[in-house]
Structure 1
């Protein structure tokens, strides 16, 4: 395993990484050389346009689902029936960040590594995921925003990384904003899990009945997919799918976006400071032109790709799309948005197909409740970026910082999607399912506001702006 990617000089308290630092990083050995032998060697194919349409054309009512759940009340299904022990991956607190990152990327969903004190332990004391990796990367390249009390600790981590000293996970657990570890027993009912998920919890650790061992990880996405695939067995939920989002009144009109011409580092900081797992990228008219998530940080774990930190958000979006295979025509449009007139079935189909945590709600140019927009009506994101040299040779320019001429101001964002007006998340959908089934989850907006208030003091001044509208637009 090669040494971690670390700068020779880390400006731990600076707001921007110096060109000298980034140039030095680009010449260091790869952070995950043994993992990513080539930019596309580990690619997971993106869901095709036809695939999304297939999900929408065949709603749960036309599916048989898993026979073992037929005729059962989903609220009484045990959580242990939905998880598999093979998805549980462990690392010790003394494991270094580089090794944990390699394991995280190789393992795939549910995109989390459980932490324990020693190899023989079977209970978790923490987690390591892409939000942790993002926060660590910001510290290493000098772009974190620590409180005064954290300065010495952050400087110590940056200095050790600079010297090539392995950084154990126990030293980085506090870098990212964490939600509490929620635990359920395998014999607990799904209703209990959905009350947690509908209140804003994103994952739950499932333990054996005696509480002695973790036997699985239950995520919001796994539950939404389960209810979608077996919808014909659960009438209370199935009857919601034909409804349009506007009538259901779910989601929130308040969201944070970043302008496509902003530096990628601002998006990484924004997600870390605000405790977000993704942000929409918009053009100058607030039209959604892309999406950046903490999981995309894995594209920055190779030293060859670290010059991307000097690029814009819109360029990084084009890199993300290229990595997913969009450049070869298999999938040439963004599917991270819906309109207020999209059905719940349409929205859930997109979430399941793209394995996303949220969909951005955009203004529809011609809303029609009887005929909600479908993915087939969405113009190609790839076509909007044909001027970019990235698409003539997707691999090399992307990883070596060759920036496209296209800017957020030049993109035809209105034709790509529409103007950002809000967001609907897995939390919102599971909160709806819980309430519809007689459960009593907390209001997820309470937790969102709490997260924003707790992070407001650490938001970098250069990207903070007054929230004068429903969309908090971080732009130049």
Structure 2
């Protein structure tokens, strides 16, 4: 029986009895079906019994020769990219709606089933065409931590968190309206459809991740423009835009973008530690490292979709290294092959190499690594360095599970067994879509705000919610939240 403290999702084979509201732009009604429990997939198709079809040689080939950009679209040739209208890049089928009073379970099914751009727009009633909020994987992560008792409420939020957890235990449907304040999110940013890309990139280069595009003179949302979509557009059409195209052959070290300060989590920490870290810090992903700070994997908020069945919740007590292997296996089950997305570059990688990997993996950031360091054979506690702050939460052996669902134990997975341990290197920094778009804006004569200002504001807004054990292990004078 599913633990009552865990949000319940339909068992395999059962259809949802409710349907999402059709968007006013396309009138489509989307049927929802359950995504089977990943824990069940693991039992019936263990990774150890499958043969990888994406070989180490193929991974190295991706490292050395990332995908080339598509051919430039003729309609953009000869144009100044800064004067291209935002409406030319949007797709109205990506606008997916749910009402504020829809249950979190139903909103989650929409989010998982519909995929990119991985956001559901929220409105008061089905006839509305303006958005009053969003629901994405950061919201789902924050909600999951609350209902299993692992969230870190700020002062004044304790009663709200307790009430939500109590409702979940009792099986009461919780509307997305009630969880809108759980995740640390920036305010909604909108632009009219006639606005040009220079306006959009100034927002993106300042740290905004997503812009809602509205019909001119109204608040009717007709599209969503994201950082990744704009980076992909400028990559695919780079030869048409000389100022940006000139940057692609340059190496990261010479461009001096990104930051040497970042946050990583040691692979032997629990998955719950990683999810708490991302929620507390307002992050969408963290690097997973071994005891010598070598990158062995990546965990993002989107990976929380693997926990949307109550039987998968015990994964919260598994290690981050194990969960990375879970992510790889799940991708193999879905794609019919094993794959290892490459989430790292080095200071001598070109900008083209970096952007190609961001586009290919649909990632928000690449971890900057240098030559690998020998990893001690015996487990060791990683130390905070001037360039990296590791998440050092309280030891699992000293903590008490918040609910019986967290008592599951998974076999250990060695960091050395993961492809990333052999092809990456020591984590020394991070470069994000924000950094790249900020560079493009400045190179094109625009004046975006400093992305570090946005990160500093996020740091101040979340500082009170970070665990004391994490605070004491962190070198806050050098750490920059991303």
TM-score by length of 1: 0.80
Where does residue 355 of structure 2 map in the other structure? 348
SS of 1:415's equivalent in the other structure is helix
Contact 1:30-1:303 at 8 Å conserved across structures:
no
Where does residue 376 of structure 2 map in the other structure? none
Shift in Å, 1:466: 2.6
SS of 2:273's equivalent in the other structure is helix
Contact 1:257-1:471 at 8 Å conserved across structures:
no
> What is the 5 A alignment of 1:394-405?
403-405=410-412
Contact 1:340-1:364 at 8 Å conserved across structures:
no
Aligned equivalents of 1:291, 1:105: Cα separation in 2: 19
Shift in Å, 1:463: 3.0
Aligned equivalents of 1:57, 1:138: Cα separation in 2: 36
Shift in Å, 1:457: 1.5
Gaps of 5+ in 1: 11-24, 367-399
Structure 2 counterpart of 1:364, from 360, 371, 379: 371
Question: Do the aligned partners of residues 73 and 435 (structure 1) sit closer, same or farther apart at CA in structure 2, a change above 3 Å counting?
Answer: same
Shift in Å, 1:166: 0.5
1:439 aligns with 2:438: no
Q: How many residues align?
A: 415
Structure 2 counterpart of 1:101, from 80, 95, 108: 108
Where does residue 35 of structure 2 map in the other structure? 36
SS of 1:148's equivalent in the other structure is coil
Structure 1 counterpart of 2:72, from 50, 54, 65: 65
Structure 2 counterpart of 1:337, from 340, 344, 349: 344
Shift in Å, 1:408: 4.4
SS of 2:269's equivalent in the other structure is coil
Shift in Å, 1:35: 1.8
Structure 1 counterpart of 2:84, from 77, 87, 90: 77
Aligned equivalents of 1:109, 1:407: Cα separation in 2: 32
Where does residue 322 of structure 1 map in the other structure? 329
TM-score by length of 2: 0.80
Structure 2 counterpart of 1:137, from 138, 144, 163: 144
Contact 1:7-1:140 at 8 Å conserved across structures:
no
Shift in Å, 1:51: 11
Shift in Å, 1:52: 7.6
Where does residue 422 of structure 2 map in the other structure? 415
Contact 1:206-1:218 at 8 Å conserved across structures:
yes
Where does residue 214 of structure 2 map in the other structure? 207
Shift in Å, 1:467: 1.1
Aligned equivalents of 1:47, 1:229: Cα separation in 2: 25
1:267 aligns with 2:267: no
Structure 1 counterpart of 2:466, from 436, 459, 473: 459
Aligned equivalents of 1:6, 1:158: Cα separation in 2: 15
Show CA shifts across 1:4-58 (max 9, x none).
Answer: x9843x5xxxxxxxxxxxxxx59x66488642146479xxxx9994798499467
Shift in Å, 1:450: 1.9
Gaps of 5+ in 2: 15-32, 43-52, 374-406
Deviates more, 1:450-459 or 1:116-125: 450-459
Shift in Å, 1:260: 0.5
Shift in Å, 1:148: 2.8
Structure 2 counterpart of 1:162, from 165, 169, 188: 169
SS of 1:291's equivalent in the other structure is strand
Aligned equivalents of 1:273, 1:365: Cα separation in 2: 29
